[in-house]
Chains A and B, each alone.
Chain A
Amino acid sequence: MRQDADALLANLPPDERVLLRPLLVTSRGFRVTAALLGAVTLWGLFAYYLQVRHGLGRTGLNRPEYWGIYIICFVFFIGISHAGTLISAILRVSKAEWRRSITRSAELITVLVIGFGAIQPIIDLGRPDRVLNVMLHAQLLSPLLWDVMSIGLYFMACTIYLYVPMLPDLALIRDLGIKAPRLYGFLAAGYQDTPPQRARLEKVIGVLSIVVIPIAVSVHTVIGWIFAMTLRPMWHSTIFGPYFVMGAIYSGIAAILVAMVILRKAYGLQEYFKDIHFDYLGRLLLVFSLLWFYFTFAEYLTAFYGGEPAEMRAFWAKISGPFAVPFWTMVAGCFVIPLALMSRRATRTTKGTFVAGIAVMIGMWLERYNIVVPTSVNPRWEIESIGHYLPSWVEFSIMAATFSGFILLYMLATKFIPIVSIWEIKEGREESVKLVADRVATYLPNEPAVAAEESS
């Protein structure tokens, strides 16, 4: 089996040999990891079964702490989903050539994570059996419904945006006949990579990468609005839309970095995820750590300076009260650590970006915790303040299962999809070098001799 695969791979050109290898060869480490993640996911499913059977009472939620872990994870996962599509779309639109090897892995994160994010509010429902009421009895004034629409649209757009640029690779696998011929025959949808087909493909990708940008922006804006549209202290803020979009992109970049470090090591992709990629994405992470600080500072200073009593209760609960630990850990994870690591070239390495990426992800999860919980337990009516929320093991299990389920599906997907776009790498080698040289030439003024000749 293993020998067959090696023999098959040996006949392929170098790019295909490396990038198709994961589709044919599965290591022991992969199986063990997958089994562990599968076990955690099953455990979480069991916890969810208990919750459905007995009611949301199995959580640690109460009154007025109506929203907890599930809503935090909802915001977090949908935030991560801005990784792929937005980053890859922006890089495509801006013709950043270094994108070629990273877009696929990023887009795959997006599609999978939207699914795991979108189920969170359903897990949070008291009556998941009635979820279709959001369509049957849609009440368009509700920000939750805006969310259903924009996430639905985003999911469709991202799935198409993942699938269309994958067609040439799927056709390649079909033509090589190295794996599941009928599956890839179906998936490749008759794509033959003729010049007119290729031209049409590039055109569609061009349109899609522009279309998904406003959709992506709308998604996290609306999620911010879910909170901002209420009259609650430290939720009712006009900057929540852009603040959430910025945070989403930030955590998305962190997720891409972490995924790339792991993929690079697991599949030996050093030639594709090069130091320069980590350097560039690290710079992007640095920019967003500063943006994060700017938004957060603006948000908290405005609340503090106004000094409205209800706002101040939530404010002090975070700064020095019961939520001081999650708050200052968030500041460390979202600002201090990434700033320290990413501002120096020496630490903008795979290892440095990995640490910073993990720190940012923890920090961004805590940011959503610090938005949801301190306000929930400190409502405007002081008499009803309770000051604490202790999630139950059911909530933690479901959260763990969401993480493990996502990682598991992502791992499995790398067994069916080349995680680096083969045709785009080839295109880069064959055409882009010249195209970029020509493009740069057009940026420059005409040479003096030619200019003088023209003017005379």
Chain B
Amino acid sequence: MTRWGMVIDLDLCTGCAACEVACKSENNIATVSPGQAEMGRAISWMKVQTELEGEFPETSAVFYPRPCMHCDNPPCIKVCPVGATFIGDEGIVGQIYPRCIGCRYCANACPYIAKYFNWYGPERSESERRHLNPDVSVRQAGVIEKCTFCHHRLQKAKELARAEGRPMREADYQPACVDSCPTAAITFGDLDDPNHRVAELKEDPRATRLMEDLGTRPKVYYLAPRE
């Protein structure tokens, strides 16, 4: 069975945040004012977290790009009172924006704080509006949103493969963050398909997942830094 997943090599990540930017433009993520960002209301489906180690000047930083973990046992979907967040056949955890009532219970249930709320409606200039991605719906005020593994790209890839009468290839479906990473730190594919690189990388001795002990079974793996 197909289980889409991601492996992020922390040794390769430079913390450049190209993935964040690519994600924002790909997924029509609303920008907020600096004041709102200061309040903790910026939306960043993919977010590069920085963990500092050691005392200055002997400091080193580890960067954790954090998308939605697309857990196989997602704590967010159980608590949603209206079934607006769900897990699909291929393991992608999705969000139904027109159904979401904005109670933010799922956001509280997610231990990775991967869910974002639209505190205000999006404000876009005319020029910005012209460059919205037509494949991704625009979210209104008052709903939850989060990383979808660029699910719209999967749909396109499936259609393309069907049109060309061939099975889907690994390269057909890659999320925007993966495409944009200059050091190729992020690998994406089917965790259950032995021909996909992620299937092999997830078995790497360095491979670990965030808060594995919670039993959420995330489909995003991290390759721990080698020192």
Contacts and interface: CB of A to CB of B under 8 A. Distances in A.
Contact of A67 (B79, B104, B113): B104
B108 A62 contact: no
B101 A55 contact: no
Contact of B101 (A127, A226, A229, A383): A127
B111 A380 contact: yes
A55 B36 CA distance: 13
Contacts of B105: 142, 144, 226
Nearest to A148: B81
Contacts of B214: 231, 380
B75 interface: yes
A141 B78 CA distance: 6
A137 B98 CA distance: 12
Contact of A142 (B51, B81, B121, B142): B81
A230 B104 contact: no
Given A142-B78, A143-B79, A230-B75, A55 B103 contact: no
Nearest to B42: A63
A45 interface: no
Interface in A27-75: 54-57, 59-67
Contacts of B1: none
Interface stretch (A9-17, A118-126, A287-295, A448-456): A118-126
Nearest to B36: A57
Contact of A379 (B64, B75, B113, B121): B113
B53 to A, nearest CB: 13
B113 A384 contact: yes
A17 B143 CA distance: 56
A121 B103 contact: yes
Interface in B111-165: 111-113, 116-121, 141-144
Contact of B100 (A54, A64, A124, A127): A127
A429 interface: no
Q: Name the residue among A54, A142, A143, A232 with the largest chain B CB count within 10 angstroms.
A: A142
Contacts of B113: 63-64, 379, 381, 384
A64 B39 CA distance: 10
Interface string B54-94: 00000000001000000000010011111110000000000
A138 interface: yes
A446 interface: no
A131 interface: yes
Interface residues of B, number: 42
Interface string B35-56: 0100111000000011100000
B82 A230 contact: no
Given A142-B81, A143-B79, A379-B111, A137 B99 contact: yes
Contacts of B78: 141-142, 229
Contacts of A64: 40, 107-108, 113
Given A66-B117, A126-B143, A137 B100 contact: no
Contacts of B108: 64, 66-67, 230, 232, 376
A145 interface: yes
Q: Is the interface of A mostly helix, strand, loop or mixed?
A: loop
B109 interface: yes
Contacts of A137: 82-84, 99
Contact of A231 (B80, B101, B107, B111): B111
B80 A139 contact: yes
A57 B41 contact: yes
Contacts of B182: none
Q: Name the residue among A126, A138, A145, A148 with the largest chain B CB count within 10 angstroms.
A: A126
Contact of B99 (A57, A133, A386): A133
A89 B109 CA distance: 36
B211 interface: yes
Contacts of A144: 79, 81, 103, 105
B102 interface: yes
A230 B109 contact: yes
Interface string A213-241: 00000000000001001111000000000
A153 B211 CA distance: 39
B40 A55 contact: no
Given A63-B41, A127-B142, A55 B121 contact: yes
A96 to B, nearest CB: 39
A134 interface: yes
Interface in A115-164: 121, 124-128, 130-131, 133-134, 136-139, 141-145, 148
A84 B141 CA distance: 39
A148 B50 CA distance: 40
A260 B140 CA distance: 47
B101 A138 contact: no
A371 to B, nearest CB: 12
A133 B142 contact: no
B102 A56 contact: yes
Nearest to B41: A62
Given A142-B78, A142-B80, A383-B50, 9 more contacts: A59-B119, A63-B40, A66-B107, A126-B117, A126-B143, A130-B100, A229-B109, A380-B111, A386-B40
10 contacts: A55-B119, A56-B119, A60-B39, A126-B101, A126-B144, A128-B101, A136-B82, A143-B79, A145-B81, A229-B79
- Counting from the closest, the 4 A-B pairs by CB-CB distance are A126-B102, A126-B142, A62-B40, A57-B119
